[in-house]
Structure 1
């Protein structure tokens, strides 16, 4: 494993890795709050692989370590990391999720898997068909547990847990230690080591943040202007809706900017192709909804653009955490209309930061139909934020169209 890390160019652990790795190798349960880009995936995969490398291999239809993730993209990304770190180890790893045929997954699981990464719904389907057994599970990892709760997977998670051996190691990774996460951890973790590497909802200092005020109807035009004027070659754009993501991607493509949309209504094949194209440079602009963006892990992503502000203020932190990773500088741009003034206010209240406003010449906002973007007033839906009523919202998430489909 050290050889694999050296080949990858890793030499120094990140703060979350420095705390989590010794605890996991020591057999402790771990409850960690770590934002995207802090190296949390290696924080649990490296020590889990170390422990598994000293034990007996998985039997037929058995698994030894189970990693649950909220989305297909994140599951695929975790598998990529597991296989990278274990390339010189005699361990078998695989991934299962919905949206693709189940029979090939059944056939692969028949041989037994040391590390299985899965979305909850498809895993339960496979277990019900007898394709996978949980007798030999030594370790359970809940990755991005907060998002799994938000997507309505709590019942599936509890069903999976009820079928696992009581004597096992459990690792829970979440962006924050919210009350629902603490409630989930109670009874699930045994005297866990608690790790929190950054203050809750604090944005990375390596990310430069700016707001460009503009009219709602000119956002797509301004986005195209910024990409072409600044010659941005790799841009991740967040849209609040699936329809909006499609519309903007099509417009950019017509203008000669190779763009693709990624969201829950796209087939798994289309999502995989779009993400791969974005990584290898054939897709210049990837337009995503919040849910679909989970699992986008690009080491040096330079630009993130909020075409729409998220309805949930915490999602702003998740979004801009896609850039400025591993010590690299990042650039987060938000195109904000007067109608979104309350959403912007909620984000600034949550992060404790006042975002710089810079008007782009030729795209100055008009004030005929809406109040100016000065936060002294504004229209729009009341933002659903953890600041409201002292608790986090559990309503439908942006871009999901309500409760997410299983796995």
Structure 2
């Protein structure tokens, strides 16, 4: 099993690190100030000027659409393994992936369109997404059912002549409040009488279609995560042409499984970056903070936690690399056990290390003087994103039990 990166990936890593040092880290405070200014003006969901400015710099530096797998539209696309260290670097600052057009949910939506869309759908929506001209949302989760089981989705997608009519309530929809979001990928039921995994379909819905209402933002442990954020959305008699259906009726569950594999590992790659950032903050604090007559870095409990954090990061990173390698070599289906394992491990590791870093900073770790409080809120949320820990643990256990069936 070979975890070495291609020369192209190694070069991109160095360029991305330089870009971070020059443009991302020095502008963290400016990003926060712009979001707060928009919030005071009455709309926290407006794009920030700093991110739009840095997008132009990222394009000029050749650091754009780094997530893309090899395809006709991305002949120089990267493998999952080559992308892993790049995604980790971007994960160190929560808003940084958008600078490189590598942020969720757009990355998953672009891959969905590339894999399952028609050429007309790709021309209409994928190309402007790749150029960074628009943004998108993935609309699956619902407030009234356990959406970790996608077969529970209750939103109806009903055929009416040359259109489908969509009715349902959705929640935790990332980016739905962003005025740049122009397209939704909506999951719902086209045939409730079909076999359990053939009832669902996915359809492309323009964000400005009549009948769509973004009702309210949903905060994560008090953070609205503006300007991307999460929204509750109502769809009432929303009509879209039949040509907007992805792949065909009853293929929604299949599309969801194809979409979520890469999406899950991307989250985990970013979690490693978060954990590294938190450990860096913790170590710097330990070296500079004195309590009871000596630096915290000389006190046993903090040395133990620093050591344990490094061990945990290396374990999680290696499992990310193994998972990416398997996705590249044997496919997502054969790597489903590894995808489930890393989806449990990585956000739990990052959450634990951020929690220790908060403890290291004392009460100041709880406020906005450091990025740690918001980092913790977002890492805790990732334990639900693309499936909760319990679902993935169940999948891992099923695979393990099956090994002994003979």
Same fold, TM-score > 0.5, yes or no: no
User: Higher relative contact order at CA 8 Å, sep ≥6: structure 1 or structure 2?
Assistant: 1
Counting helix residues as a fraction of each chain, which structure ranks higher? 2
The two structures have a TM-score, normalised by structure 2, of 0.23
The two structures have a TM-score, normalised by structure 1, of 0.23
